[in-house]
Structure 1
Amino acid sequence: MSMHLDSSTLGALRCFEMAGRLLSFTKASVALSLTQSAVSQQIRQLEERLGYRLFERHSRGLVMTAKGEALWTVTSKALHDIGQTLQQLGMSDIPLRVSCSPSFALQWLMPRLSTFQREQPNIALRLVAEFQSLDRSAMETEGIDVAVRYDPVKYQQLNAETVLDEYLVAVATPAYVAQHPDFAKGESAEGVTFLHDAAAWDGAPEFAELRHWMEALHPSWIAHLAGPQYNLSSLVISAALNHQGVAVTRSALVYEELASGRLVNVFGKHAPAPARYVLLSRQPDDPRIAAFSEWLKAECGRFDSLRMQLL
């Protein structure tokens, strides 16, 4: 029996696909914002035009027939492919401008961006490393589509989602730890050089992360609240890798160094950081922003599981 794919047939196939996915006319009607009777009527008319039943109706619910299952498999894939194509065609050719704190960009985001580019080859990305405070006006003025910030600020005017919590760790090279056995035992900080980020976030107080870590794990060492100050965590990590001291820094930024053994978590402990990584956007419904946001959240979720195993 030949059958033309006119608008009414396509609408009925859409109802059929959803009902087959949920095995319920009622649930399908809610998902499609239609009445239950409208969904039921569309599928009944489709069955009449096809000349065979797609569902067996039982008191406990729906069961697809063999022909129904075959048609559902094809219909589901076709509708998914259409949706993906429409989304891609609706994406702007303008590069997606992503603003990110420099150290997070260098230590965490850059090594993972190739995954996003493989998944979304049609989205051009422009990454800008900066950490100034943002609001809706600043994002519009700078042409920023989406941003990642590490700070304790509560954003009001932007769509803001926490994508990754952070933890502070004291790390050093195995050689530096061996040279300071009393420190490694947690007995004394005498003679130890603490390395830290003097600008953990825009407007951060002096020694913000180092003080927070000491108060949480070694409050008696507050007297040693000193040491070289750097304006990027990447510089702090580099100094630690060159045996210049103990870096009190963010676990996400030193994950690779800890996993490789180039740096060690001196005490095998971590303290919750005073800030977290937040994803900011002006237009979350923009297909490009939505694609990047979903990818970043999934990547952060995978990373967090691996990180907690390491810590």
Structure 2
Amino acid sequence: MPRLPSLNALRTFEAVARLGGMERAAGELHVTQSAVSRQIRLLEEELGILLFRRVHRALVLTPKGQAPASTLRAALDLISSGVEHLAQPSERLRIHVASTFGIRWLVPRLSRFEARHPEWRIEVNLAWYNFEPKDQGYDVGITYGRSSWPDACLTPILTEQLTPVCSPDFLERHRPPRQASDFDTLQILHCQFQPPNPGDWHRWASDWSGGFFDTNRGEVFATLDLSLRAAETGRGIAMADLAMVEDDLALRRLIRPCPEAMVSGDTYHFVQPEPEHNTPIVLAFRDWLLEEAQASTIQSRTVLFASPVQA
């Protein structure tokens, strides 16, 4: 194989040929005009041919310079594409995840996994419904509650703990609820994507110490995330999973007007559609997910027994 000329010289030659002058090529390449002239001279000496000739103070390709100029752009693009491909992560993981879990729990933590494994690319697809085995287009997933997945495909991550939350501003305008009658004057916010009746508000109201109240009134939102965002604006009290509002409670975007939290029995699961395909990226993500979930559970227990508001 014959020795190839300098790639830098070839790149310079292509720029001069395309732009029609050394000054423009120097500007595109961010070098001096003399550096461009030197690269062209060295390339001509190495090839033993004249690539350009001056015509009325302009550079014109010679017949021998026209042939390589016409193909060099495509060759440089191909080299650039190849180098870019080498720089891309060698493997990707496509994750299908329940919307609120993805927005409020997974994505805020995902940078820690990416820092640990920068060689891999993560793609997150939010599911606005609980997906099933027949769904396509992902490698692993995180699902909520009950589904038709075989038990062998599911790994429990987090168990839901329900507690009411609202904004500090909302509680300044309303008395903290201590008994069932207090909720008669408060706006409660629902997520329509709840397990079959009874809903989360009904389950929590049946368990707290203040007595049962009417849980069928109030505003309804399409997702838990939307109802929590409405609560952040002071619109009312939403029912939340403690793990989904850890950051909001820590930053006091949301507070807990009642100390009670109840374990609902519903669980978030890590899903492997093909459990026999335990690739390194799948195993690493599953182990990291369980590690983060354990830390989240510990933090939720701390919040669980913390004083929610000052009376």
Provide the TM-score with structure 1 as the length reference: 0.64
In structure 2, runs of 5+ residues without a counterpart are 1-88, 305-311
**1:254 alignment partner, one of 245, 255, 258:** 245
Question: Structure 1 residue 129 and structure 2 residue 115: aligned?
Answer: no
CA offset at residue 276 of structure 1?
Answer: 1.0
**Residue in structure 2 matched with residue 148 of structure 1 by the alignment:** 142
Letter in 2 for 1:112: R
Residues 197 and 207, structure 1, Cα contact 8 Å, conserved in 2: no
Would the aligned equivalents of 2:179 and 2:210 in 1 still touch at CA under 8 Å?
no
Could you say if the C-alpha distance between residues 230 and 207 of structure 1 is closer, same or farther in structure 2, counting changes exceeding 3 Å?
farther
**8 A Cα contact 2:176 2:257, kept in partner:** no
CA offsets 1:64-88 (integer angstroms, 9 cap, x no match): xxxxxxxxxxxxxxxxxxxxxxxxx
Deviation, structure 1 residue 162: 0.6
Pairing partner for 1:178 from 158, 172, 181: 172
Give the 3 Å change call, closer, same or farther, for CA 248–160 of structure 1 in structure 2. same
Which residue does the alignment assign to 1:109?
106
Q: 1:241 to 1:133 in 2, by over 3 A?
A: closer
**Structure 1 residues 158 and 145: alpha-carbon distance in aligned structure 2, compared to 1, 3 A threshold:** farther
Is 1:295 matched up with 2:295?
no
Q: Is the 8 A contact 1:170 1:267 kept in 2?
A: yes
Counterpart amino acid of 2:137?
G
* 1:88-107 to 2 correspondences below 5 Å: 93-107=90-104
Taking the aligned partners of 1:179 and 1:221, their CA distance within structure 2 comes to 23
**SS class of match (2:207):** helix
Q: 1:154 Cα deviation (Å)?
A: 6.1
Cα distance, 1:181 vs structure 2: 1.7
- Conserved in 2, the CA contact under 8 Å of 1:209 and 1:274? no
Q: CA deviation at 1:134?
A: 3.4
Residue of structure 2 equivalent to 1:213: 204
SS in 2 for 1:276: strand
Partners of 1:182 and 1:252 lie apart in 2 by 22
Gaps of 5+ in 1: 1-91
Residue 158 of structure 1: CA displacement? Answer: 5.2
Partner in structure 1 of residue 157 of structure 2: 163
Q: How far, CA to CA, are the matches of 2:215 and 2:274 in structure 1?
A: 46
Tell me the CA shift for residue 93 of structure 1: 3.7
CA distance in 1, matches of 2:116, 2:169: 41
Higher helix share: 1
* Cα distance in structure 2, aligned partners of 1:274 and 1:222: 22
Q: Percent identity?
A: 21
Q: Which moved more, 1:291-300 or 1:279-288?
A: 279-288
Query: How much is the aligned-residue C-alpha RMSD, in angstroms?
Result: 2.2
Is the contact between residue 136 and residue 157 of structure 1 (CA under 8 Å) also seen in structure 2?
no
Deviation (angstroms), 1:237: 0.9
Relative to structure 1, is the Cα distance of residues 249 and 119 closer, same or farther in structure 2, using a 3 angstrom cutoff? same
- Normalising by structure 2, report the TM-score: 0.64
Counterparts of 1:271-282 in structure 2 under 5 Å? 271-282=262-273
> Counterpart of 1:212 in structure 2: which amino acid?
R
Distance 1:114 1:236 in 2: 26
**Does the 8 Å contact 2:161/2:262 carry over to 1?**
yes
Question: CA 1:208–1:160 in 2, change beyond 3 Å: closer, same or farther?
Answer: same
Task: Tell me by how many angstroms 1:160 deviates.
Answer: 0.4
After superposition, give the CA deviation of every residue in 1:203-225 in whole Å (9 maximum; x if it has no partner): x3356211111122168434242
Q: CA deviation at 1:148?
A: 0.6
1:129-166 Cα distance to aligned partner (Å, 9 max, x none):
0043334332xxx1221111111336316510111111
- Of the candidates 171, 182, 192, which is equivalent to residue 186 of structure 2? 192
Larger Rg computed on CA atoms: 2
